Amino acid sequence: MPDLGGLWSDLTDLVLPAGCAGCGGRAAGARRGFCPGCAGELESLCPAPTRPSPAPPDLPPCVALGPYAGALREGLLAYKERGRHGLARPLGALLAEVVAVAVGPARPVALVPVPDTAPAARARYGDHLDRLAGHAAARLRGAGWPVRVLRPLRALPRPDSVELDSAGRAAAAGSAFRLRRVGAPPPVVGDTAVVVLDDIVTTGVTLAAVSRILHAAGMTPNAAAVLAATQKRRHR
């Protein structure tokens, strides 16, 4: 994993009384939400390319911190669904490591988080990806990277993907986002790398849909960076 500095302290400072977000334990040393064992598990993950099969058209090269399992899975669930907002800082720091691998040598970067729908943001007391993007950007800036967080998209209501087949999920994702301002000039120039951020990649249809809209607006993504990649289940 790239060394952006201070990751261990992000994972293991600030006492939280709710126990470890990774394993649920309350052992001594569980501080920023992860016990030493789970913090070590997260710190040992190495960002690597990932691609769903089949990959949807327009999916940019994607890098994930690790599989959607173990301490990473439980930490994401605690952050998104159980109100553990203090996990935004350590998870954002991990996401910064993924961005660094996705981009390569340091260069100007524009981070574009996949937006929450308004109801989801209200339920989570704020857009969860936007919080992660802010912490990721701060970590990268601290390492000397010129980074901006762009929010050119808004999310529209869509049906629960659990009720849809693969074609239905692709169609729903394709109509789920809009540009905030139609006809605005592209906000990125020169050698700036545009990186789409999400927490989890499963089929890739959301990242592909966002990438198509950004491409049409003159902001073609160079890569996508995610924290976790699900493993496709094979039906026997």
pTM of the model: 0.84
Q: How high is the pLDDT of residue 167?
A: 56
Give residue 10's pLDDT band: very low, low, confident or very high (50, 70, 90). Answer: low
Strands 48-50, 62-67: pairing kind: antiparallel
Strand order in the sheet with 193-201: 48-50, 62-67, 223-229, 193-201, 109-113, 147-149
Higher-confidence position of 83 and 193: 193
Q: How high is the pLDDT of residue 176?
A: 79
Higher-confidence position of 33 and 5: 33
Cβ neighbours of residue 119 under 8 Å, at least 6 residues apart? 157
pLDDT at residue 223 above 90? yes
Average pLDDT over residues 77-97: 92
Tell me the one-letter amino acid at 150. Answer: L
